[in-house]
Amino acid sequence: MAIEFQCSECGKLLSVPDGSEGKEARCPSCQAIMDIPGVAKAVAVEPVVDPPAAPSGEMNPYAAPAIETPQLENLFVDETDVQRDGPPWERGTVSVTSFFATVKSILLTPNDCFRTMRRRGGIGMPLLFGLVGGLVGAAISHSLTYLLHGSLIPLSLGLGIMTIVTIPVSIALGIFLMAAIVHLLLRLLGGAPYGFETTFRVTAYVSGATNLLSFLGLLPFVGIYLTLLIPAVYTIFGLAQAHQISNSKAATAVLIPVVICGGYYIFYHLVLAPQLL
């Protein structure tokens, strides 16, 4: 026969095995400690019946209350249509104004720009931006080369047409290749919660904006390093904001190919080139 009695603190009905009278018990509800009464005293206590539970939405008033299962928060909610409205290049009509407004946003406020960049929505608009920036940057570099050196490489009609075709193709391939390498490294580092499209969009926008600074490559000694480091820095900022990862992970993924390219350039010009001459 079990001994039933009320908790002296919260009034909850408790039940202990027969023969436990005189010992101490802890209430599982309020954690209060009390002495277990004898059988005579315990029998005199009327059990407290909890009020009937509210209906759980069914017609049966005695149905057990429904237990709500907590919903796990989705850490990777796509904010494309909620908080990210994209750079000016994607908000309205494609124009010179929207192009340079996007360039200004990327170069001056990269964190804010890529914090609002759409993670999805196709690669067409970012790729077009990268192509326009690459072509404009190439035109600026060639013009400065002409002004500084007074001559350009003469091109025949066939070679000129080939150049016009190959430059955009090489720009597009460069964007795809860089995005693929960086995204692979991000995956290996556990820093790519979003897909390849997000990495590609960052790479394309950075390429389009920083290619306008490609004329810095004409500077002696430091030019080649500037053309490698400037896009790398902006890509780090962009990936950190777009993928919502730490700057260290983004920097590791971006700087590995940059260091390899820079190391090869130094090795070629300091070791291989003198031997070939």
Least confident of 24-33, 85-94, 268-277: 268-277
What's the average model confidence in pLDDT over 126-132?
96
pLDDT of residue 44: 47
Residue 209 pLDDT > 70, yes or no? yes
Helix (H, G, I), strand (E, B) or coil at 23: coil
Residue with the bigger pLDDT between 97 and 48: it is: 97
Measured between alpha carbons, how far is 101 from 87 in angstroms, rounded to an integer? 8
Give the pLDDT confidence score for residue 70 in this predicted structure. Answer: 39
Q: What is the pLDDT of residue 161?
A: 55
Res. 154: pLDDT tops 90: no
Measure the CA–CA gap between 211 and 134, rounded to whole angstroms. Answer: 5
- Contacts within 8 Å (CB) and 24+ apart, 179-184: 179/203, 179/204, 181/257, 182/235, 182/239, 182/253, 182/254, 182/257
**82 has a pLDDT exceeding 80:** no
> Does position 123 have pLDDT exceeding 90, yes or no?
yes
Residue 276 has pLDDT above 70, yes or no: no
pLDDT at position 62 is 57
**Mean per-residue pLDDT, 58-85:** 50
pLDDT score at 148:
74
> Rounded to whole angstroms, how far apart are CA atoms 277 and 267?
15
Is pLDDT above 90 for 20? no
Q: What is the mean pLDDT of the chain?
A: 78
Q: Give mean pLDDT, residues 106-123.
A: 92
Q: Please give the residue that has the higher pLDDT: either 235 or 216.
A: 235
Give the pLDDT confidence score for residue 107 in this predicted structure.
Answer: 96
Please state the pTM of the whole predicted model. Answer: 0.65
Radius of gyration of the chain (CA): 35
| Interatomic CA distance for residues 123 and 130, integer angstroms | 11
Most confident range, picked from 45-59, 82-96, 197-211: 197-211
Q: Where does the pLDDT of residue 27 fall: very low under 50, low under 70, confident under 90, or very high at 90 and above?
A: confident
CA-based nearest residue to 130, from 197, 182, 202: 202
Q: List the chain domain ranges.
A: 3-43, 93-276
